[in-house]
Amino acid sequence: MVPLMNRRQVMLSLGAGGMVTALTGCSGWQTGRSRPRVVVVGGGCAGATAAKYLRMWSDGTIEVTLIEPNHHYVSSPLSNRVIDGELGLADLTRSYEPLARRHGVRIIVDRVVSFDPIAKRLRLSQGDELRYDKLVLAPGIDPQFEAIDGLAAAHADGRILAAWAAGPDTAGLHAQLRAMPDGGVFAITVPEAPYRCPPAPYERASLVAAYLKRYKPRSKVLVLDANQDVVAMGSLFKKAWQDRYGNLLEYRNHHQAVGVDAGTLTVRFEVQEDVRADVLNVLPPVRAGRLARDAGLANINSRWCEVDFACFESKLAKDVYIIGDAIQAAPKMPKSGHLANGHAKVAVAAIIASLRQRPLDPHPMLTNTCYSLVSPFAGMHSAAVYGYVAAHRTFESVADAGGVSAEPNEAEVTEALAWAKNLWTDMLG
């Protein structure tokens, strides 16, 4: 087994051949096994959807194995509502069991530590090996704690949390907010785009401000943004902040965090003055999950994996399909759970077409809707539709489709919850 491959080795593996469809560079199928084996790595929005739809759309003719280290799925969508205390982690937790019981997915609770795209084998943390015919990689993102001096240690000992993947840190950040004195400062730093879920830091700041306005009104929220301006739904957020929170919430752009001091809860910036807070929520830059990086597949700035958008096959490794936040997204496409779920369906259709030696869908479509709350009682959304344009080999926004809310409103709080429940059912139900 070759655990790690350099980029040249991976590219050489592409030359190993395989039928190439007439429509795209996506791999064809040539082994002729009657029950092909597809292994899916990662049971998040992208991977769980892929595992389920591989079984459903192949009428159970593909053997599907899902490998995920966690026993349950905990949703990052809606997790900002755990930080303001409106929801608990249990509300966001769903079982993987229906994937096995209803759809016949074999689930292995473990972590993949390496894979060999030439021999088509992968190795689990306990040392077991699995063979595959096609591999779906959906490892999500890893935070780059080391990009901010002192953050790795401060995060490890729980003093400064990111809480950018729902779990114990999300509840930990809520506990820090509850313990903060009235008159204290909650500061959140936003990394340079692209990062997971563009509106989510601003939603978090809004919900924290609503909490403080209600329970600790002498306090302050500071949004310290590395970007030039609010990255998503900017005018709606800024108006909502002014109308609802006034001086309680302050937005500062061009604040690129470079270091933290966990003892004094101080954050240092590239140019601007240091800021001290009572609760410091530092969001570091992110990049594709380690498995994809270690395999040499994160070829864009050593951060993101380049795929053929016609089928989501890696540009570097044949029969390896990469979906979700780990990819270099098409222009104007955010890293979102909604899109990760859509990537999975395009990839699944392409894998089945390849296995059945049929042509690919020449015009796959994707949709996205991001809901954001500006308070527990007012939500808004931004929606978009993307179509694959074969001539440009990428997805492009469809003109006059989608849009944003006119203003935050009560109905969209309910719709945001319904959207999340639909997503969870579509992935796991």
Ligand X SMILES: Cc1cc2nc3c(=O)[nH]c(=O)nc-3n(C[C@H](O)[C@H](O)[C@H](O)COP(=O)(O)OP(=O)(O)OC[C@H]3O[C@@H](n4cnc5c(N)ncnc54)[C@H](O)[C@@H]3O)c2cc1C
Q: Are 193 and 227 in contact (CB under 8 A)?
A: yes
Contact 37, 78 (CB under 8 A): no
311 vs 416, beta carbon nearer ligand X: 416
Q: Which residues pair with 138 in a beta bridge?
A: none
Three-state SS annotation for 101-112: HHHCCEEECCCE
Q: Distance between CA 44 and CA 66 in Å, rounded?
A: 11
CB of 404 to ligand X, least distance (A): 14
* Those residues with Cβ within 8 angstroms of residue 304's Cβ, 6 or more apart along the chain or in another chain: 194, 287, 288, 298, 326, 327, 328, 329
Residue nearest to ligand X (CB): 44
Give least dist CB 254 to ligand X, A: 23
- The nearer residue to ligand X, 67 or 224, going by C-beta atoms, is 67
CB neighbourhood size of 317 (10 A): 26
DSSP of 35-104:
S-EEEEE--SHHHHHHHHHHHHHTTT-SEEEEE-S-SEEE-STTTHHHHTTSS-GGGGEEESHHHHHHH-
What's the CA angle centered on 328, arms 327 and 330, to 5 degrees? Answer: 115
Q: Minimum CB separation from ligand X for residue 413, in Å? A: 12
Binding residues for ligand X, per CB under 6 A? 41-47, 67-70, 76-77, 79-80, 111-112, 138-140, 164-165, 196-197, 200, 289, 291, 324-326, 335-338, 340, 370-371
Least distance to ligand X from the beta carbon of 227, Å?
A: 17
360 versus 370: smaller Cβ distance to ligand X: 370
Shortest reach from residue 30's CB to ligand X, in Å: 28
Q: Which of residues 29 and 311 has its CB atom nearest to ligand X in the complex?
A: 311
Query: Measured from the CB atom, is 29 or 308 closer to ligand X?
Result: 308
Q: How far apart are the first and last CA of the chain?
A: 36
In degrees, rounded to 5, the angle at the alpha carbon of residue 298 between the alpha carbons of residues 295 and 304 is 150
SS3 (DSSP) at 242: helix
The residue (of 164 and 388) whose beta carbon lies closer to ligand X is 164
CB of 256 to ligand X, least distance (A): 20
CB of 139 to ligand X, least distance (A): 4
The values of phi and psi at residue 28, to 5°, are -95, -165
Select 148 or 205, whichever has its Cβ closest to ligand X: 205
